Amino acid sequence: MKNNCSPGDIADVLHKQQRFVVMSHMRPDGDALGCEIAMALCLKQLGKDVTVWNQDGILDKYAFLPCSDLVTPPPAEPREFDVAIALDTAAQERLGTCLQSIKHAKTWINIDHHVSNNRYGDLAFIDSTAPAAGQILYELIRSQDLPFTHEMADNLFVAISTDTGSFQYPNTTARTYEIAAELIKAGVNVGKLSQLCYESFPRRRVQLLRALLNVLKFTCDDRVASFALSLDTVAQLGVKPEDNEGLIDYIRAIDGVIVAAFFEELPEGKVRISLRSKDPSADVCKVCTQFGGGGHTLAAGARTRGTLDEVQAKVLQAICNEINH
């Protein structure tokens, strides 16, 4: 596996090239979108031509991010770029329809923090010890004296906050808190951003949580908690994919539970798997790898073919095997 490039290598490309497309994974979270917007704003400050794509566009719940209107779904007609930048995306195919909209890019840059990233692209900078891609991007920007604005600070704060569980997850480091302090010094209003991020949910999200708790199940001697979302329930409640982000944490927090699992039925006979672990010895990345996915030791995901019941049974057994190994 190839080694990381240097931050200087990336900065050199950012300075020398002109036409950029910035992307992140489908079903984006706060880290993905915050990084996309911050990177785009940095490039704009350098006078570059910047396009920002995500297969799902900007999610309603993150529309409060400064300059969120930069993020659009990719067009049907492919375009050419000097540089394609993939952020917070462990596998290139997770860029979804963005890939089909790139006719050609001379250089691919891959910046990520997932241990399962295979270092695709021409320049890869992967730090699996970083709790968020936003932390890597902040360090890159600051170490290379790249432009930094108040709007970028807001986006990077949300990126880091959401991927660290509001600075609570085990991979949150002293440096993470130092960066948060530096972002606050740069003008971040913590109270305002946190309210918009964590305390502004639509009512349908609460209705979804109620429905999921009604199908909550415990397995593996109550060490695994899981719930499943069917397409029928989605239709009945009129929920959006973004509404279920973070709901798995409710069952992860149950005393005695080591691993929480969320299964979401998708169209075309697929199921989306999200796993969260409270114990590094129960490596959910290893479990998700068995089903074509990946991620981190304590947080991972996958998409696999099968019915909701079939996938749930297979994955729950694999989780229990991992716990008991």
DSSP string, 28-90: --HHHHHHHHHHHHHHHHTT-EEEEE-TT-S-GGGTTSTTGGGEEPPPSS-EEEEEEEEES-S
Provide the number of structural domains found in the chain.
2
pLDDT at 325: 86
Name the band, by pLDDT with cuts 50, 70 and 90, for residue 109.
very high
Answer yes or no: do 170 and 21 share one domain. yes
The chain-wide mean pLDDT, for the chain, equals 96
Q: Is residue 58 part of a domain?
A: yes
**Domain that residue 221 falls in:** 203-324
Paired tokens of 206: 């609460």
Beta strand 259-266 with 224-229 is parallel
Are the C-beta atoms of residues 153 and 187 closer than 8 Å to each other?
A: yes
Q: How far apart are CA 18 and CA 29, in angstroms?
A: 28
Interval 173-177 mean pLDDT? 97
pLDDT at 2: 76
pLDDT at 313: 97
Answer yes or no: do 184 and 217 share one domain. no
Answer yes or no: do 117 and 101 share one domain. yes
Task: Give the closest residue to 198 by CA, choosing from 64, 19, 35.
Answer: 64
Q: How far apart are CA 95 and CA 86, in angstroms?
A: 8
Q: How far apart are CA 161 and CA 148, in angstroms?
A: 19
Final residue belonging to a domain, choices 164, 198, 232:
198
Answer yes or no: do 192 and 243 share one domain. no
The domain spanning residue 227 has which CATH number?
3.10.310.30
Angle value at C-alpha 284, between 279 and 285, nearest 5 degrees = 125
Q: Is residue 2 part of a domain?
A: no
Q: How far apart are CA 71 and CA 20, in angstroms?
A: 13
Q: Is residue 173 part of a domain?
A: yes
Final residue belonging to a domain, choices 144, 174, 198:
198
Are the C-beta atoms of residues 298 and 170 closer than 8 Å to each other?
A: yes
Calculate Rg over the CA atoms of the chain.
19
Interval 8-31 mean pLDDT? 97
Answer yes or no: do 181 and 37 share one domain. yes
pLDDT of 169 > 70? The answer is yes
Q: What is the DSSP string of 207-249?
A: HHHHHHHTT-EEETTTTEEEEEE-HHHHHHHT--GGGGTTTHH
Kindly report, residue by residue over 228-277, the tens digit of the pLDDT.
999 999 999 999 999 999 999 999 999 999 999 999 999 989 999 999 99
Answer yes or no: do 56 and 75 share one domain. yes
Answer yes or no: do 96 and 222 share one domain. no
Q: Is residue 22 part of a domain?
A: yes
Name the band, by pLDDT with cuts 50, 70 and 90, for residue 24.
very high
Q: How far apart are CA 288 and CA 301, in angstroms?
A: 6
Picking from 141-150, 155-164, 214-223, 293-302, which range would have the lowest pLDDT averaged per residue? 293-302
Q: How far apart are CA 53 and CA 95, in angstroms?
A: 9
Kindly report, residue by residue over 64-89, the tens digit of the pLDDT.
999 999 999 999 999 999 999 999 99
pLDDT at 1: 62
Residue for token digits 């539970």? Answer: 257
Name the band, by pLDDT with cuts 50, 70 and 90, for residue 182.
very high
pLDDT at 3: 87
Answer yes or no: do 260 and 290 share one domain. yes
Over pLDDT 90: what percentage of the chain? 96
Answer yes or no: do 178 and 211 share one domain. no
Interval 52-56 mean pLDDT? 97
Answer yes or no: do 190 and 224 share one domain. no
**139, exposed or middle or buried, with CB in 10 Å at 0-12, 13-18, 19+?**
middle
Answer yes or no: do 51 and 187 share one domain. yes
Helix axes 150-163, 30-45, angle to 10 degrees: 160
Q: Is residue 142 part of a domain?
A: yes
Name the band, by pLDDT with cuts 50, 70 and 90, for residue 101.
very high
Strand order in the sheet with 123-126: 71-72, 49-53, 19-24, 79-87, 102-112, 123-126
Answer yes or no: do 90 and 110 share one domain. yes
The domain spanning residue 52 has which CATH number?
3.90.1640.10
Amino acid identity at 278: K
CB neighbourhood size of 23 (10 A): 30
Q: Is residue 1 part of a domain?
A: no
Final residue belonging to a domain, choices 198, 223, 257:
198
